[in-house]
Structure 1
Amino acid sequence: MNIYLECLPCFLRQVLEASKLATENQEIQKRIMKDAAKVITDFENYRYAPEVGRVMHSLVKEYTNTDDPYVNIKQENIDGAKEVYPYLKNFLHKKEDRIYWALKISAVGNVMDAAIYKNIDIKKAVENELDEEFNICHIKELKERLKEAKSILIIGDNSGETVFDKVLIEELLDFNIVYAVRSEPIINDATLKEAKDSGLDINTKLITTGCNAPGTIIEECSDEFKEIYENADIVISKGQGNYETLSEQDREIFFLLKAKCPVIATDIGVNVNDYILLRNI
């Protein structure tokens, strides 16, 4: 997916947020923002928005000597998600179409971002989001694939979502599941640490993509990941960053996300905040 002009102010907003998390020193924050503005002027040299995001966040790490500015937020995300995990399991237990609702629960995990930042009632937010229908839902195509599939690759997104993804994975235990995360901390995305904290190592093989951007840039991924990606019977890609970097791939991918960004919503052809289960080909 191309970088749009509307992405540029979002880059600056994100890097300002990260700089404030990493340091209270306003002089350092100013230097970060000045360098970030220089990166923005060269945005046409990048293929994907997550590439720009990676450069932006590397500035924060470099200037503040902080490996993971979002470490506390990620832990809050996971702790909050664990609080609603019993509710999610009970909710799913009452449903007839368990695969559909497990996928919806997995997608709803994206609400953890807003819940933590806005200090809202997580359980109530999740209940409200579960009432929302998918705008695009290629569940029929996915179920057809599941009939003959043996292996599933799930490419994770943010840390809080991993607990919601656990609910999905527990409905797919008959399959060999690999769950892939970022190779190092970037924004609030999941790494191996957060995936293990959420208990995903119990029923899945955990790997990193080998890519340290807030997306999955195939050319930068490890040989291990690329082999699994190419040979998996089903690939489920979570979240917006993975959509931005994988939407033009020529293998079948099921994109599972909430289109929170107007640019991504426009690219897919849906409304902002719509839920999507999209088969790309």
Structure 2
Amino acid sequence: MSKMLKLITIFLTITTISAQVPVKDGWRTVSSPWDAARFREVMTRVLPKAYTNPAIRSGRIAGGELAYLGQFPYYAFLYNVDSYGDTYVCGASIISHNWLLTAGHCLDEIVRTSVYVGMIDRVNGPAIWTLDVTPANFIIHEDYFGIINDIALVRLVRAIPLSPYVTNVALPRRSDSSVVLEGKIGTVCGFGKIDDVKSQPSQFLRFINQDIVANSVCAKLYGSVNVKSTNLCMNGTGGRSTCSGDSGGPLVTEITAGQKTLVGVVSFGAELGCTLGYPLVFTRVTSYLDWIEANTGIVIYS
């Protein structure tokens, strides 16, 4: 079979599957859960009081690049509806064919969510697979509070059909807890806002590569009470950053050469802006391996 014929066959297969998964009405008017009134006090508490670096503006999500189909096969898009009827965008990581890992604040007061995988255009779609999920299948960390223990699981009652375009990401081993991540390049993707001016998340899936930095860098700005050992920090300079709508999404890096490992879950950043150079804060996955194993049955290797 020629290379061109193979590409056509793959395209037709994806189109046939994903044509059955249309996007929902109203996706043009969604926001981040951090924009909800109930989270304003939390973000006010972690708001940096001063920052001396010059402002750097960017026309795209913190200098992000467009992703292509299959580049992040472990990314899941969450379309959430809360108890007030408001809709929010979040991300999640596929950690097995029946489980997603996301941020606790993404599921707080959410009454239903629609999971979409294999999608790089949130307005027009299509997606390869979708499933509506109710709170009965949410597991938010029992000690979650705002930005503390900001981690949650979504149980999928119908298994995701894994393929080269949709698959799970590797979880860390327990021994990886002792690996120094500072200085490693991390990759994060999502549909977050493309800059500090736009009111809506990005139509297209984007990604950035930035270096992971010591927690002390974040603690200087957000305070040690907000940045704990269960967090992980990433450089936000150069206008390259996560933004509203990226919550819950995956941060991966290579702990073992050649293998992307999930090390962080997008938690929070500076309320002042996404492109101003502030560091980014994630939930550190290695701090919750026992919790993940206990709640999902996924074996975490030593």
- Scaled by the length of structure 2, the TM-score of the pair is 0.25
Q: Which has the higher contact order (CA 8 A, sep 6+)?
A: 2
Q: Which structure dedicates a bigger proportion of its chain to strand?
A: 2
Report the TM-score when normalising by structure 1: 0.26
